[in-house]
Amino acid sequence: MNNVHLIDHPLVQHKLTLMRRKDASTASFRRLLNELATLMAYEVTREMPMQEIEVETPLETTVGKVIDGKKLVFVSIMRAGAGILDGMLAVVPGARVGHIGLYRDPKTHTAVEYYPMLATGNSAIAAVDRLKEVRPRSIKFVCLLTCPEGLKAMGDAHPDVPVYTAAIDRQLNEHAYIVPGLGDAGDRIFGTK
């Protein structure tokens, strides 16, 4: 699990704890997720390649470093991944955006093409499989939280893809939900349950 980056900044952990509360409203959950994703984006983009450009300040011409946001693509795994997207775009507004529609079959727990967690790992693996078809230069997988089972599955399938997460929870339950977790993130983001 040396390819796993636990983002344990105090602000990230604070917001995650507030999101875990079962009595957190839909509006509160959305706001906290957006804020948390923005904070996580700083760590995920830490090693982005930069290039030098010449800029003219009010006093003189100098050289500064920039990233090329047009080469960066954020791909959201629908539906819960949409909650992370806005926070990431707040930091890199020039990034391109893609979506992958997947859901976890409630009986088989397998990914069906059509959540921001890495539970069984099946949806994450299917999404990365799909992304690798277009041969990107690199892929980083960002999830709000995960568990050992999901990390193992992802690591076995895609050992070259680093995982960035705010928490590694204890395990999956019999319904393939992360525990202690925070419930169904999609339902909590969109207020559907």
Q: Which amino acid is at 77?
A: I
| pLDDT for 103 | 60
Euclidean distance between the first and final Cα of the chain, in Å? Answer: 34
The rounded distance, in Å, linking the Cα atoms of 26 and 187 is 9
For the stretch 153-181, pLDDT in tens is 999 999 999 999 999 999 999 988 899 99
For the stretch 125-158, pLDDT in tens is 888 998 899 899 889 999 999 999 999 999 999 9
Average pLDDT, the chain: 86
| pLDDT for 75 | 87
Higher pLDDT, 36 or 105: 36
What number is the average pLDDT over the span 111-136? 75
Q: Per-residue confidence at 58, pLDDT binned at 50, 70, 90?
A: very high
Question: Mind listing the domains of the chain with CATH numbers?
Answer: 4-47+71-190 (3.40.50.2020)
Provide the residue count of the chain.
Answer: 193
The rounded distance, in Å, linking the Cα atoms of 88 and 74 is 8
What number is the average pLDDT over the span 94-123? 68
Contact between 73 and 96 (Cβ < 8 Å): yes
Placement of tokens 């960002």 in the chain: 142
Cα radius of gyration rounded to whole Å, the chain: 18
pTM: 0.83
Neighbours of 189 (CB within 10 A): 21
The rounded distance, in Å, linking the Cα atoms of 12 and 10 is 5
| pLDDT for 115 | 47
Placement of tokens 């079962």 in the chain: 22
Three-state helix/strand/coil letters over the chain:
CCCEEECCCHHHHHHHHHHHCCCCCHHHHHHHHHHHHHHHHHHHCCCCCCEEEEEECCCCEEEEEECCHHHCEEEEEECCCHHHHHHHHHHCCCCEEEEEEEEECCCCCCEEECCCEECCCHHHHHHHHHHHCCCCCCCCEEECEECHHHHHHHHHHCCCCCEEECCECCEECCCCCEECCCCCHHHHHHCCC
| pLDDT for 112 | 58
